[in-house]
Amino acid sequence: MRNSERTKVKLLLHSGVVGTEVAAMGWVRTKRGNKNVAFVALNDGSTIHNIQVVFDMTRFTEEQLKGVTTGACIAVKGLLVDSPGSGQRVEIQANYLEVLGEADATTYPLQKKGHSMEFLREIAHLRPRTNTFGAVLRIRHAMAYAIHKYFNDKGFFYIHSPIITGSDAEGAGAMFRVTTLDLDNLPRTEDGKIDWNEDFFGKEAKLTVSGQLEAELGALALSEVYTFGPTFRAENSNTPRHLAEFWMIEPEMAFYDIQDNMDLAEDFLKYLIRYALEHCADDLEFLNKMYDNELIDRLKFVIENPFERLPYTKAIEILEAANQKWEFPVFWGADLQSEHERYLVEKHFKKPVILTDYPKEIKAFYMKQNDDGKTVRAMDVLFPKIGEIIGGSQREEVYDKLLNRIHELHIPEKDVWWYLETRKFGSAPHSGFGLGFERLLLFVTGMTNIRDVIPFPRTPKNCEF
Ligand code: ATP
Ligand code: MN
C-alpha cells in the first residue's frame, strides 16, 4: 500500500465520509476481541485520538492477525462506517491488512500504560509513541509555528544568529568549547599556554549561550527582529528547569523602551497561550485529565489577567516581610531564586509578575543604567510553577556608559569592539528579551520536568540518543 492512498487518522475522525473506502497506516496501541472479531486502536501521531479498526474474522485468519500486536506498524484499507461504540464518530471495517513492522510482544517496552516519566526518558527513542509525548510534541510544534506567525504578522524579521561564537562576552552562563585540536597533543605557546592560533578558527570558539548581541545588530538595521535557535549552557545545574541545550526566542527592537518591551512580552505570551488553547485543545484536554486538573484553568487565567509589574526593590520588601523560611537569604542585592520568584507569583500576587530595575551587579553589562547609579532597566517575567520564563532589558545605547561598564567588569574591549561600534554609529534606544522555549512548554503542557518537553534532553552526564 502506498502513502498516497492513506488518509491521516485526524482527518478520518474529523471529516472522513461514512460509506467510502479509506486507507490508514499507523501503530497499534491495543488489540482486543474474540474469535469472531478483533478491535484494533490505531494511532498515526496526527492526533491524540486513535481510530478503531474492526477485523471481521470471517474475512481474516488468525495467522494474518498474529503480527498485529501492541507497537506493530500496520496498513489497513476498509469501509468507513458509523461507530456504534461511544468515544468515536467513525471506525474502519477492514478488508485489507498489511503488517509493515512487527513488534515482539515480550520485548517491546511500551506494552502497558502508566510508565513513569523517568523510565520513558530512558527510552526517548520510543517515547514519542506514547499519548503523553505525542501530545507534548504536537504542542511543541504548534508553539514554534505560533512564534513565527506572531512575529511575522507584526513585521519582525527572523535573524539567524550563529551557534558557534568567538565572543566570550555574552555573559549568560558557562560555555561549551568548540575545538578540533588534538586533546592528547595540544599545541603550546612559548609560555606553555594552549596555542589557540592553531585551532580551527584561529582563536577560541564556544557554543553560544544567547543570540542577543547579534540580534541587537539586526535590530539596529531592521528595527524589529527575533532569533529562535538552540543555545547552550555548561552549568552543572541539575534542576527540573535547566537544560544544557535549550531553545530560546529572542526578539530585539529598536526604539522600544522598557515599557514597550514589557508590553510586547506580555502580549506575546498571552498570544501563544491563546493559540495553544485554540489549536491544541485535544492534547491539552488529555494532559489536563492525566496530569494536572488545573492546567486549562491556569492557561485561561493567565490570558485573562494583566501581569503585575513592580520594581525589584519592592519585591525584596515583600519577600522580607513574608513569614517564610528561605533556603537562600533575601536582601537587597540578592539574585532571586526560584523559591522567591514562585512565592511572589503563587502566594503573593497569584498571577504572573514582571520585575524591573534590578541591581546592576546581578545583571549583564549591556543593560541600560538607571539614574540612581544602582539599578538597571532589566525585566524578568515570572510565571506560576516555573519562576523565570523571560529575562530581558532595555539596552544601554550610550557609548560612554556602556564602555565604562565594560571596563568595570574587565571585559576585554577586543571581544566586543563590533558591539561597541553600534553605539558609536547611529545608536538608538532599543530593548529585547529571551524566552526559554522549554520553560514556555513546561507552562503550556503542565509537565513538571523540562526533560519531558524536548525530544532528546541534554543535561549533565546525559547525552544519550
Ligand atoms: P535562570 O536564572 O532560571 O537560570 P537565567 O537568568 O540564567 O535563568 P537568561 O540568561 O535570562 O536565564 O535566559 C533567558 C531565558 O532562557 C530564561 O528566562 C529562561 O526562560 C531560559 N533559560 C535560561 N537558562 C536555561 C536553561 N539552562 N534551560 C532552559 N531554559 C533556560
Ligand atoms: Mn535571566
Cβ of residue 388 lying under 6 Å from some atom of ligand 1: yes
CA of 401 to the centre of ligand 2 (A): 22
| Ligand at shortest distance from the CA of 381 | 1
* pLDDT computed for residue 332 by the predictor: 97
User: For residues 165 and 173, what is the distance between their CA atoms, to the nearest angstrom?
Assistant: 14
User: For residues 52 and 42, what is the distance between their CA atoms, to the nearest angstrom?
Assistant: 6
CA of 391 to the centre of ligand 2 (A): 4
User: For residues 150 and 224, what is the distance between their CA atoms, to the nearest angstrom?
Assistant: 12
Full-model pTM: 0.96
In sequence order, the 6+-apart residues with CB closer than 8 A to the CB of 153 are none
Residue whose CA is closest, atom 20 of ligand 1? Answer: 436
| Ligand at shortest distance from the CA of 433 | 1
Q: What is the mean pLDDT of residues 432-448?
A: 98
Residue whose CA is closest, atom 1 of ligand 1? Answer: 388
Which pLDDT band holds residue 359 (cuts at 50, 70, 90)? Answer: very high
User: For residues 58 and 206, what is the distance between their CA atoms, to the nearest angstrom?
Assistant: 65
Ligand 1, closest atom to CA 387? 3
Cβ of residue 389 lying under 6 Å from some atom of ligand 1: yes
Which pLDDT band holds residue 173 (cuts at 50, 70, 90)? Answer: confident
CA of 282 to the centre of ligand 2 (A): 33
For the segment 242-275, what is each residue's pLDDT rounded down to a tens digit?
999 999 999 999 999 999 999 999 999 999 999 9
* pLDDT computed for residue 175 by the predictor: 93
Q: What is the mean pLDDT of residues 41-63?
A: 96
Ligand 1, closest atom to CA 439? 20
User: For residues 33 and 54, what is the distance between their CA atoms, to the nearest angstrom?
Assistant: 9
CA of 231 to the centre of ligand 1 (A): 10
CB 430 within 8 A of CB 255: yes
Q: Is the pLDDT of residue 111 over 90?
A: no
Residue 220 CA to its chain's centroid (Å): 27
User: For residues 106 and 123, what is the distance between their CA atoms, to the nearest angstrom?
Assistant: 16
Residue whose CA is closest, atom 22 of ligand 1? Answer: 436
User: For residues 70 and 60, what is the distance between their CA atoms, to the nearest angstrom?
Assistant: 18
* pLDDT computed for residue 116 by the predictor: 93
* pLDDT computed for residue 20 by the predictor: 98
What sign results for the dihedral spanned by CA atoms 171, 177, 178, 181?
positive
Burial of 165 (0-12, 13-18, 19+ CB in 10 A): buried
CA of 450 to the centre of ligand 1 (A): 12
* pLDDT computed for residue 196 by the predictor: 96
Closest residue by Cα to residue 128 from 53, 7, 244, 46: 46
Q: Which three cell numbers stand for residue 407?
A: 571596563
Cβ of residue 44 lying under 6 Å from some atom of ligand 1: no
CB 93 within 8 A of CB 56: yes
Ligand 1, closest atom to CA 209? 10
Q: Which helix (H) or strand (E) holds 402?
A: helix 399-408
Cβ of residue 139 lying under 6 Å from some atom of ligand 1: no
Q: Is the pLDDT of residue 168 over 80?
A: no
Cβ of residue 243 lying under 6 Å from some atom of ligand 1: yes
CA of 386 to the centre of ligand 1 (A): 11
CA of 19 to the centre of ligand 2 (A): 57
The preferred substitution site among 380, 389, 439 for testing ligand 1, maximizing ligand atoms within 8 Å of CB, is: 439
Burial of 277 (0-12, 13-18, 19+ CB in 10 A): middle
CB 156 within 8 A of CB 222: no
Q: Which three cell numbers stand for residue 94?
A: 477492514
For the segment 304-339, what is each residue's pLDDT rounded down to a tens digit?
999 999 999 999 999 999 989 999 999 999 999 999
For the segment 210-237, what is each residue's pLDDT rounded down to a tens digit?
999 999 999 999 999 999 999 999 988 8
Q: Is the pLDDT of residue 185 over 90?
A: yes
* pLDDT computed for residue 2 by the predictor: 94
Q: What is the DSSP letter of 92?
A: E
Q: What mean pLDDT, rounded, does the chain reach? A: 96
Q: What is the mean pLDDT of residues 155-181?
A: 89
Cβ of residue 379 lying under 6 Å from some atom of ligand 1: no
First to last CA, the chain: 31
Which pLDDT band holds residue 170 (cuts at 50, 70, 90)? Answer: low
Q: Is the pLDDT of residue 53 over 80?
A: yes
CB 218 within 8 A of CB 252: yes
Ligand 1, closest atom to CA 335? 2
Task: Give the neighbor-by-neighbor strand order of the sheet with 205-207.
Answer: 164-165, 205-207, 177-178
Taken as a whole, the chain contains a residue count of: 465
Q: Which three cell numbers stand for residue 460?
A: 549533565
* pLDDT computed for residue 169 by the predictor: 64
Q: What is the mean pLDDT of residues 71-84?
A: 97
In sequence order, the 6+-apart residues with CB closer than 8 A to the CB of 463 are none
The neighbouring-strand residues paired with 177 are 206
CA of 436 to the centre of ligand 1 (A): 6
